Structure 1
Amino acid sequence: MITVFTPTYNREYTLKRLYKSLKNQTIKNFEWIIVDDGSNDDTENLIKEFIKEDEIPIIYKKVKNGGKMRAINIGVSLANKELFFIVDSDDYLDERAMETIEEESVTLPVDYAGVVFRKVEVFDNGKIVRERERFGEDQIDSTPINIFYNKKILGDKAEVVKTAIMREYPFPEIEGEKFVPEGYIWNQIGENYMFRYIDKGIYYYQYLDDGYTKRFSEIIKLNPKGLKLYYGYMLKKNIPLKNKIKFMIRYFQSLYYCWKKEGKTK
């Protein structure tokens, strides 16, 4: 029923924790697809060991380094299950995650895009730092822009999306760049489909020093076209003025780095 998809780059040191959480799932209604984005550590041998154990179905593909968004597109093309769930290589899942997703998905209206859960921030020892903002209700039928800007339920969430719909909305692949915010796709899906938000935390994460969140200033310099695409898109949406001002500043930052990058290539 579920494709758990993990894009990874040099995360041998965190993948064991994710693998353990998948082996410990209360039901095994899933496959695990890993797209290795050109790792030069021992990731490949580690995954081969996982496959040899034959505990869960694993599909592994190593590709030339091209960034998370290209990796997601590849993962979607390889997926064999009805639902697509991105779980980053430095994160892991509650042991009832698959069971919870299945329980909540069977009652999902056929024209909905998928179900969305809370993420839970943890320390190295697994103790909870904080849970992402509770949704306030056990279940909310909404869209990503409405849930964030009107209902004020902020932060990253754990989206489980129908694979067929993921295929309708591939991530842009921009030559010379590797990143486009995931919100660009979730928000586009939300223009045509509803999501069901479930107030349960099934996804555990940490903000690592080499993760995207802590490297934003570097990311915008390296991926200005992708960020310009996202901020330009968001400026057209009906969102609060303070957010529009922030996105306007980011948009012009992106324009500046586009100009700077183009100047270097001439």
Structure 2
Amino acid sequence: MKLSIVTSCHNRAKLLERVWQGLVSQSSRDFEWVIGNDGSTDNVEDVATSLALRSDFPITFVDARKHVGKSRIDNAMIKAAKGDLVLFCDSDDYLTRDAVEAVIAAWRPGLSGVTGLATEDGGTALFDPFYQDEIEASWRDLADRPDEGTSDMTLAIRTDLLRETPFPEVDLLYPEGAMVRNLNCAGGGPTKDNSC
């Protein structure tokens, strides 16, 4: 099991070092990092090259050269991904030391993906399980969950599913959460009423 951690950025080169610090500290090296440049005018390519030279894990740089929007750059990163699962890590996120290990440990064949809460701890995104005990649910069931103060999830989704059901390239922003319906209908699991 290998993860492809994908980070898209548009004029956020200054934040990549922080993401990288979280990746360097990982207890597992079963991952690669795919950085997607969404037409930045800052020095994101130079920063990515510098980080790649200092890394003991593979880094792939996907360059759109012009601003194409998050959905298009995400699709390009997914196409370049070599891992079994794609873990979305925004350019302002930081993965805790055991995030890769936790995702891999939670994975079982037959699942569409693994998700946990992205909580805030002094500005640091953490991978945190939804419940003390594991549950299996459809993507829609997770999206419809009423949570107090929980607005963001950390998503690790099967690469093959994301390739079969790419982000619609209809606007400059199509967030991961909007993929719930598409993934559910593509085999992410039935909802309680068996509808897509």
The answer, yes or no, to whether TM exceeds 0.5 is yes
Q: Which has the larger radius of gyration?
A: 1
Q: Deviations over 1:36-80 (max 9, x none)?
A: 111111211111111111322000122121111101100111011
Check conservation: 1:141, 1:194, Cα contact below 8 A. Answer: no
CA distance in 1, matches of 2:80, 2:27: 24
**Would the alpha carbon gap of residues 6 and 134 (structure 1) be closer, same or farther in structure 2, given more than 3 Å must change?**
closer
3-state secondary structure, aligned to 2:146: coil
Match of 2:57 in 1: 56
Unmatched 5+ stretches in structure 2: none
Q: Counterparts in 2 of 1:144-223, with a 5 A limit? A: 144-149=139-144, 151-153=145-147, 154-174=150-170, 177-191=171-185, 192-194=187-189
**Residue 88 of structure 1: how far off its partner (Å):** 0.5
Match of 1:103 in 2: 105
CA distance in 1, matches of 2:59, 2:128: 33
TM-score by length of 2: 0.86
Q: Comparing both chains, which one has the higher relative contact order based on Cα–Cα distances under 8 Å and sequence gaps of 6 or more?
A: 2
3-state secondary structure, aligned to 1:140: coil
Say what the alpha-carbon RMSD is for the aligned residues.
Answer: 2.4
What amino acid sits opposite 1:181 in the alignment?
A: P
**Residue 145 of structure 1: how far off its partner (Å):** 2.2
**Residue 187 of structure 1: how far off its partner (Å):** 2.5
Unmatched 5+ stretches in structure 1: 196-236, 239-266
Check conservation: 1:12, 1:41, Cα contact below 8 A. Answer: yes
TM-score by length of 1: 0.64
**Residue 147 of structure 1: how far off its partner (Å):** 2.6
CA distance in 2, matches of 1:2, 1:132: 14
Identity over aligned pairs, percent: 27
Check conservation: 1:121, 1:132, Cα contact below 8 A. Answer: no
**Would the alpha carbon gap of residues 140 and 16 (structure 1) be closer, same or farther in structure 2, given more than 3 Å must change?**
same
Check conservation: 1:7, 1:89, Cα contact below 8 A. Answer: yes
Check conservation: 2:18, 2:94, Cα contact below 8 A. Answer: yes
**Would the alpha carbon gap of residues 39 and 4 (structure 1) be closer, same or farther in structure 2, given more than 3 Å must change?**
same
Q: Deviations over 1:169-205 (max 9, x none)?
A: 101112xx3122322312221233249xxxxxxxxxx
Structure whose residues are more often helix by fraction: 1
- Report the number of matched residues: 187
Runs ≥4 residues deviating over 3 A:
131-137
**Would the alpha carbon gap of residues 47 and 194 (structure 1) be closer, same or farther in structure 2, given more than 3 Å must change?**
same
Check conservation: 2:115, 2:129, Cα contact below 8 A. Answer: no
Match of 1:21 in 2: 22
Match of 1:85 in 2: 87
CA distance in 2, matches of 1:22, 1:120: 17
CA distance in 1, matches of 2:164, 2:72: 15
What amino acid sits opposite 2:151 in the alignment?
A: G
CA distance in 1, matches of 2:162, 2:87: 10
